[in-house]
């Protein structure tokens, strides 16, 4: 299963990095959603990399139970990012929907290859749930100040968006505690390809672009201000109980 790596051109080694390293992903199409707006959003963010004070790495993931999470795990190990941010679409989203919890559960829904998950649990023996480590309250507040709808959600579904968030949080736990990246997932509305040219909507393509750039800029500024890249403690919290 292929994937697109559209990394920025101004990369730095981990030992000499002076800016936060961000890994940002979107998804390709999946059954019922032939056009996934998170893919062109990530391509747009890559084109705007010079305006974001970070070393930006972007990838478009296949909506595949095995390959998508495996690619993210590989990139986390390779890049050692300071933050991992996933964008996906949801018909329930009415703005920027920040997912707060990932569940160790998989719905019996096929992926882009027509294959179902390999079992009920995404990771056998893993905790029932894990919490996003993004500064969600701050990011959502900034978006609302900019006139954009933003809110927190406690249910990322049980499909690949949830699986990707859970997998990334788990991979963050495997890194050194002083280098654990912040991890989060944001759902955006499932805009159609035609709507990208519609400027009359209350929350459309322009708002998605503007909000995503604001999120990355604020996240990069937060990382720099907290000196997150030079000696951070792991912010991950594993919830071992039921929710």
Kindly list the catalytic residues. Answer: 99, 161, 187
Please name which of 231, 239, 228, 207 lies closest in space to residue 84, comparing C-alpha atoms.
228
- From CA 110, how far away is CA 64, in angstroms rounded? 9
3-state secondary structure at position 186: strand
Please tell me the distance from the alpha carbon of residue 176 to that of residue 214, in angstroms, as a whole number: 29
Reduced to 3 states (helix: H, G, I; strand: E, B; else coil), residue 183 is: strand
Max distance between CA atoms of the chain, in angstroms, equals 48
> 75-89 burial, b if ≥16 CB within 10 A, otherwise e?
bbeebbbbbbbbbbb
How far is the C-alpha of 161 from the C-alpha of 196, rounded, in Å?
22
β-strand pairing of 83-90 with 182-189: parallel
């Amino acid at each position: 299963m292929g994937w697109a790596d559209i990394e920025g051109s101004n990369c730095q080694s981990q030992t000499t990095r002076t800016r936060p390293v961000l890994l940002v992903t979107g998804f390709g199409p999946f059954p019922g959603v032939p056009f996934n707006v998170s893919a062109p959003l990530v391509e747009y963010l890559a084109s705007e990399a010079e305006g974001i004070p970070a070393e930006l790495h972007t990838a478009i993931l296949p909506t595949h139970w095995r390959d998508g999470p495996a690619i993210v795990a590989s990139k986390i190990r390779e890049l050692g990012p300071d933050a991992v941010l996933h964008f996906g679409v949801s018909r329930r989203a009415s703005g920027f929907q920040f997912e707060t919890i990932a569940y160790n559960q998989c719905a019996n829904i096929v992926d882009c290859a027509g294959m179902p998950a390999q079992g009920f649990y995404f990771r056998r023996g893993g905790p029932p749930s894990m919490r996003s480590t993004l500064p969600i309250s701050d990011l959502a507040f900034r978006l609302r100040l900019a006139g954009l709808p933003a809110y927190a959600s406690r249910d990322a579904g049980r499909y690949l968006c949830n699986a990707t968030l859970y997998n990334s949080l788990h991979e963050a736990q495997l890194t050194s505690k002083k280098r654990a990246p912040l991890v989060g997932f944001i759902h955006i509305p499932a805009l159609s390809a035609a709507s990208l040219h519609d400027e009359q909507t209350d929350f459309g393509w322009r708002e998605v672009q503007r909000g995503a750039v604001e999120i990355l800029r604020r996240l990069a500024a937060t990382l720099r201000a907290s000196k997150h890249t030079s000696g951070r403690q792991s912010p991950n919290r594993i919830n071992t109980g039921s929710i």
